[in-house]
A = this chain, B = another copy of it.
Amino acid sequence: VQLSQAGEFGLIKRMRRIIESGSDEIVLGIGDDAAVVRPKSGSCLVLTTDALVEGVHFDLRYTPFDALGWKALAVNLSDVAAVGGVPSYALVSLALPEAWTVENVESLYRGLKRCGKMYDCKIVGGDTTRSIGKGFISISVIGYVKQNAIANRSGAQPGDLLCVTGTLGGARVGFEVLRENQNVDLFKKSIRRFLKPLPKIAEAGRLIRELKISSMIDISDGLSSDVSHLCEQSGLGCILREDAIPLHPDVKVWAEQVGIPPARFALTSGEEYELVFTVNPDRLERWINHNRKEKHFPVTSIGEMVHKNKGIRVKCGEKTIPLSEKGWNHFRK
């Protein structure tokens, strides 16, 4: 069905059918000029927004619409995770090219809904318009965080360890495999990682409560770029050990195939949505010992925070070189 056949209000009705879920806290939902919700008391509000632009962040040749919806919300949830919050509400702003069908938009909304359900984030409103040209999805998420449990980019201390959750490089493998349309079956896990990232909401909460981490950022632009942001905001330098970067299992195969050293490949892999954080070394040791018998998520120390005058550097074998920002930077070529 063409968008022009359904019309704006027909389309909105279909979208409501997908996402609507009654909830006591929602006083006024979709269908009014604005949503009204009863807030959680005793918490601060977390506010964030992130957009996916066609041709910049996604390519419909290899991005199913449901994955697009999932990802558009997930990248916002990852920002909520980075400050230690839990998500609660989402607002969805869409500009739709005429070539997209009603079914495409419904599929996008199903992806949104599934991601929201997994992370307990309700879609309470939005705006849907035409676009001349490319598609555009901007989402804002409103969440909560306790005032004494907020993580930021600026609290790292000299001597803190620089750590990362999970493994890196998989998202970039997924992206490149899809883009080149090569061995798609061999790299299914990486593709899933790229298309449907899992923001680390629960992990972030545990890092703050149990480890009293001193700063945190999520990896959206790439480890090298995001570590640089964290260092700048904390007014510190760091020494990152390239050989310590935890690699996604697919990285070794793919990076060698394209002729890039695996760790360097992972260093500039964006859209990972893992967390980078800094922590006192003793606290990390105690936490790892304490958690040895329980199931816990992987955390790897990849370097150390140092004074600003030592620079932001990466140790590659015997050499220690400046960690130039190699991640994603809009506009710059």
A interface list, Cβ under 8 A from B: 3-4, 6-9, 11, 27-28, 31-39, 41, 43-51, 53-57, 78-80, 82-83, 85, 89, 91-93, 95-96, 98, 124-134, 136, 138, 140-143, 145, 147, 150, 152-154, 217-218, 233, 329-333
Contacts and interface: CB of A to CB of B under 8 A. Distances in A.
Contacts of A126: 49
B51 A138 contact: yes
Contacts of A41: 41
A125 B56 contact: no
Contacts of A4: 331-333
A93 B129 contact: no
Given A130-B331, A331-B6, A91 B47 contact: yes
A21 to B, nearest CB: 16
A143 B46 CA distance: 13
B80 A34 contact: yes
A129 B37 contact: no
The 5 A-B residue pairs with the shortest CB-CB distance in the complex, in nearest-first order: A33-B82, A34-B48, A140-B140, A55-B132, A133-B133
Contact of A51 (B35, B93, B152): B93
Contacts of A51: 93, 95, 127, 129, 136, 138
A96 B31 CA distance: 30
A70 to B, nearest CB: 18
Contact of A332 (B7, B50, B93): B7
B48 A35 contact: yes
Contacts of A35: 46-48
Given A31-B233, A91-B48, A138-B93, A53 B153 contact: no
A154 B138 CA distance: 28
A235 to B, nearest CB: 13
Among A92, A124, A152, residue most surrounded by chain B Cβ atoms (within 10 Å) = A152
Given A35-B46, A36-B145, A47-B35, A132 B130 contact: no
Contacts of A46: 34-36
Contacts of A153: 31-33
Contact of A32 (B33, B152, B330): B152
A222 to B, nearest CB: 13
Among A33, A78, A131, A136, residue most surrounded by chain B Cβ atoms (within 10 Å) = A33
A134 B133 CA distance: 7
Contacts of A330: 7-8, 128-130
Among A11, A31, A136, residue most surrounded by chain B Cβ atoms (within 10 Å) = A136
Contact of A36 (B53, B85, B154): B85
